[in-house]
Amino acid sequence: MYLKNRNAEMFRKIAPVLVMLLVPTAFVHAQAPSLENPSGSGAMAPGLTALPGGSAAILSWIEKDGEDHVLKLSRFEGDSFAEAGEIARGRDWFANWADTPAVHARADGAWIAHWLEKSAESTYAYDVRVTFSTDEGKSWSPARTPHADGTPTEHGFVSYFPADRQRTGMVWLDGRETGAARDGHDHEGFMTLRTAMIEADGTIGPDRLIDDSVCDCCQTAGGTTALGPVVAYRNRTSEEIRDIAVVRRTADGWTEPRLVHADGWKIGGCPVNGPSLLADGMQVVVAWFTMAGDEPKVRFAVSNDAGATFGPPVTRSPGTALGRVQLAWINDGFALSWMEEDQDGAARLRIAHYSLQGELLDDLALGQLDGGRVSGFPRIATVDNRLLVAWTASEQDKGTRVMTALVDLDRPEN
């Protein structure tokens, strides 16, 4: 685990792990053959997005081209990836292992993509940049910024939720209050959670505040239920309790934050380990990492009332979890992926398949990954009821490469 302390503005390594490649383990209940993709040497920060209809997905990643960072994408369909395309490039990007670009696919066929761009010399001064495509990524609009504060502070950890077929909501962590002292006070403000609407033509409406005190650098997650949007994120109290909260948008606006579960994790810095969320009809699933009680663990909880309340959490990998959770709908249930340490202290990727009632259907380990920041945040997406997996791996020259695999869940053991 890594801890980001706002006062020191740095990450601290908590749990070192060995560097190893993907290999079979005794936990594997499904084959996970390596799958070639068009990313090049030095690629990092993979993203996966399932396309409407469930028969294809988009893989996105960052590569270097000379002094430029380049955001690329490739469509996966059938059993292979298409030739890589380019979304955007620039020399002043903030490219890192945790706050990564992504592509969102709208129901009407439009695609939205974002990345982070430096706004000043300070390490943590960067803006969100958003672009829009109506021809499946062949061309992209000029980039826009969803926040108009103009402060040289952090803006990132973006997630999306469908508003309707032609509009998309986005949420992000916004650091406009964390810079120089505000309103005559001599202390820093807190990271905030804000939202804006991307309209049908790709223009972005004004940003609005959702929560004025959230964890500084944990991923956000969004979705839409039968009753409206729901967003999960790591909250932050004045006592430095940083548990996972959800907010819902109703006819009266955004609700007050409500904890998915009161873990009671008190921590004086950001663990860089946010939640994942699925929403469909009245069901919401939220997964997260916590070290409450000084025991690392991954948890998930299910709501049957559109995120208003959640059932008791299910705990995975107590004592060995590293977190970095991801969720995906699959086979009348959902898949949960996370990273943990094995008995030798190496990192590996775990995937579990659950029914909508929370019954465990399959439980597998895909093998060992690079430890620390190198593997980034593994991603999963469902394509034709198979699970597409992407992560970052190290190369012999100390560079990185994006790796992909395809998993069939619930196959009989050999």
pLDDT at 33: 65
Q: What is the pLDDT of residue 409?
A: 86
The span from the CA of 140 to the CA of 48, in Å, is 19
373-398 pLDDT, tens digit each: 999 999 999 999 999 999 999 987 77
pLDDT of residue 233: 99
214 HSE (CA, 13 A, CB side): 35
Q: What is the dihedral of CA 401, 402, 403, 408, to 10 degrees?
A: 180
Question: According to the model, what pLDDT value does residue 8 have?
Answer: 36
Maximal C-alpha separation, the chain: 68
The whole-model pTM stands at 0.91
Domains delineated in the chain: 44-364 (2.120.10.10)
Grouping H, G, I as helix, E, B as strand and the rest as coil, residue 294 is helix
Question: What sign for the dihedral angle of Cα 397, 89, 115, 78?
Answer: negative
- Please tell me the predicted confidence (pLDDT) of residue 411: 57
Pairwise CA distance, residues 366 & 335, whole Å: 13
Weakly modelled stretches of the chain, pLDDT under 50? 2, 5-27, 29-31, 181-187, 413-414
